[in-house]
Amino acid sequence: MKRFTTVLWDLDGTLLDFLYSQRYALQKCFRTAGREIAEEQMERYSQINDSFWKRYELGEISKERLLRERFVQLFKEYGIEDIEPGAFQREYEEALGSVVSHKDDSLTLCKALNGFVRQYVVTNGISATQRSKLKLSGLEEAMDGVFISEEVGAPKPSEEFFTYCLERIEEKDRSKILIVGDSLTSDIRGGIQAGIATCWYRPDTEENPSPYIPAYEISNLHMIYDILGVFDTWQSRRDKS
């Protein structure tokens, strides 16, 4: 098995359960506004949010437009006129960064990989929100570095984003770098374009409708041990501890 020295981890939907945090943030903000949000509205928000993030990834819209107009569209569709989108957006981002849930015990995994590979987070999002989640989750301490699109100045999967990241990590041999993420259009597409190996995390075993074919696929994050070629060494160290 090929030995990688470096892992680039996506954050939302990969190391952390983004939908868990999103549900909490939406419910909290709507209750602050004196309302309850229905399941249908949360599902619709997810669809709207995903569509805006994809447009942002493609460079079609600005980050500022994304953040505000997703709520403008949601409120318009449901006839909500008594909530100001800008204020709601600011409260939402704060709430989003205040609660986390790990996917597949990701913190234990990342800590176990320390000493075997260098690890970095590569994520789209708002800096304050992502930094808050990384600290709250404990993942910040397990990483060798963090790259957030707002701080980089370009979104994943753009060439600018990956060039920025790859210039700043220790490993320079791209054949020894692996990106792991749940998004085909962001993580896998970006990794392929950057010339690094890609691993698609798909816990729900969904089909791949895109033209972006990952080198590896996993349904549980702990399957990464075999891909990295460190399982035997890791198992030996664990048995001795």
Catalytic residues: 10
**Helix ranges (DSSP H) in 78-177:** 85-96, 106-113, 127-137, 139-142, 149-152, 159-168
Strands (E) across the chain are located at: 6-9, 118-123, 145-148, 177-181, 197-201, 216-218
- What is the Rg, in whole angstroms, of the alpha carbon atoms belonging to the chain? 18
Output the CA torsion 176→181→184→186 (10° steps).
-90
Q: Are 137 and 101 within 8 A, CB to CB?
A: no
Q: What sign has the CA pseudo-torsion 20, 26, 29, 33?
A: negative
Counting every residue written for the chain, the total comes to 241
Distance CA 59, CA 187 (A): 15
Q: Are 138 and 102 within 8 A, CB to CB?
A: no
DSSP at 211 = S
Burial environment of residue 86 by CB neighbours within 10 A (0 to 12, 13 to 18, 19 or more): exposed
Residue identified by tokens 């749940």 is 182
